Amino acid sequence: MSELEILHCLAYAVDCARYWEPPDEEDLIFVRPEVIAALRPITRAVLDSPHTAWWTEPVELLNQHLVEKRNPIYGWSDLPLRIYRTEDGLEQWRAEALDYERRFLEYQIEDPDRHIGGEWWSTPFANGTTETTRARDGIGALGVFLEEDSSSNEARVQPVRTYGAPRIYEITGPRDWANLVDTYPLPVPASRRSVWYDTTGEYRDWFIPDWVSMAADYDAVHLTMMAYLTTPGIAIPLSRNAGATVLAGWDPDATVWLRSNNITVDGDPMG
């Protein structure tokens, strides 16, 4: 298989990722022992391919791109695309996350058996947060088609220039994600109670990262392709906090920039 064929197969799985509902029929089929055994040789063949050798590599700082998907309601944003200041947005994100947790705790006190949906992601969807991915030769920016729950087939791609020496936290697997949450914990047991029970089948004291605290030590966080295949959607126990965490809402090879002082857009966007 060519690299494009492999990535298109991966894109199908990425687009079907769901972290707010129970496993569907296909999910249940793929965890059967006999199905796992049948797929294992295929997995080995894919990972032995030269096209996947980079799947364990860290962020490629000299090859980052910002992808904008066309909003089905509002269309395109104004040009030129900009990198916005992140820090103030993260502070607002944490304040809203804590308020959201308080409201869900009140719901739980009023009706302990109530099953209510809500925020399911563990990524910092904050004003000013920028997400970039690398581009592959002959394929283009991965963020164009490796996107969870994709809503648009139209995209504009802007090269991003990095400068200085940004401090990057690399997530290469579940242990790195657990260490990140253990180091910068933000408890969200009430707001994630129902949605993460649906996706993991477990009631736990859930935690997500406190991205404001992390931004004091790191400029960005990168999820390797291999980490994407091994980490999201499962209950990951913590060692320094009495609970667990779920990685949800992060695209393959995506770098999320917690600080904007090391990146700028470079050149004209490509349709």
What's residue 43's pLDDT?
94
Pairing of the two strands 206-209 and 244-245: parallel
Q: Which two tokens stand for residue 2?
A: 């060519």
Q: What does the chain come to in residues?
A: 271
pLDDT at 82: 61
Q: Are 45 and 5 in contact (CB under 8 A)?
A: no
The pLDDT, as a whole number, for residue 117 is 87
Whole-model pTM: value is 0.92
Predicted local confidence at residue 80, as pLDDT? 57
Structure tokens, 35: 């199905």
Look at the block and give the residue holding tokens 């091994």.
230
3 state DSSP class of 93: helix
Half-sphere exposure of 28 (CA within 13 A, CB side): 5
**pLDDT attached to residue 135:** 96
| Residue-level pLDDT, tens digit, the chain, 271 residues | 899 999 999 999 999 898 988 989 999 999 999 999 999 999 999 999 999 999 999 999 999 999 987 777 767 766 656 666 666 789 889 999 999 999 999 998 888 888 888 899 999 877 668 899 999 999 999 999 899 877 667 888 989 999 889 999 999 999 999 999 999 999 999 999 999 999 999 999 999 999 999 999 999 999 999 999 999 999 999 999 999 999 999 999 999 999 888 888 876 555 5
Q: Where are the domains of the chain?
A: 3-265
